[in-house]
Amino acid sequence: EPEVTQTPSHQVTQMGQEVILRCVPISNHLYFYWYRQILGQKVEFLVSFYNNEISEKSEIFDDQFSVERPDGSNFTLKIRSTKLEDSAMYFCASSEAAGVTYGYTFGSGTRLTVV
């Protein structure tokens, strides 16, 4: 079964450093997302991406965050200057299409720890 692949599975970084989280969505999917889950809390929407541009972003997704699809397969989330409160599990997801009947396929997540 096709899957969404995320790397790395764990990342530890120092406060103020830049991190790039990588994702390979399912090949025929057109919509891409990043979500985050602070430990023990709910899953929060960060950003959606379609046709090489951001289609929606949340209040969390401030200027420190950016997304990119540098080639035909990768989808990345960059945090420019990490803060302690960025420590969370970050999930990439993809969807074949927009519309209420289409679910997301999630990757296994990247656990980011900022020290």
Longest dimension (CA), the chain: 41
Position 11 contacts another protein (CB under 8 A): no
Contact call for residue 109 and another protein (CB under 8 A)? yes
Identified binder of another protein from the candidate list 23, 48, 75, 87, rule CB under 8 A: 48
Stretch of 15-23, 66-74, 76-84, 86-94 lying at the interface with another protein (CB under 8 A): 86-94
Question: How does strand 110-114 pair with strand 88-95?
Answer: antiparallel
**Residues with Cβ < 8 Å from 21, sequence gap 6 or more?**
6, 11, 34, 76, 77, 78, 79, 90, 92, 110, 112
Closest to another protein by CB, 18 vs 98, is: 98
Q: Minimum distance from CB of 23 to another protein (Å)?
A: 13
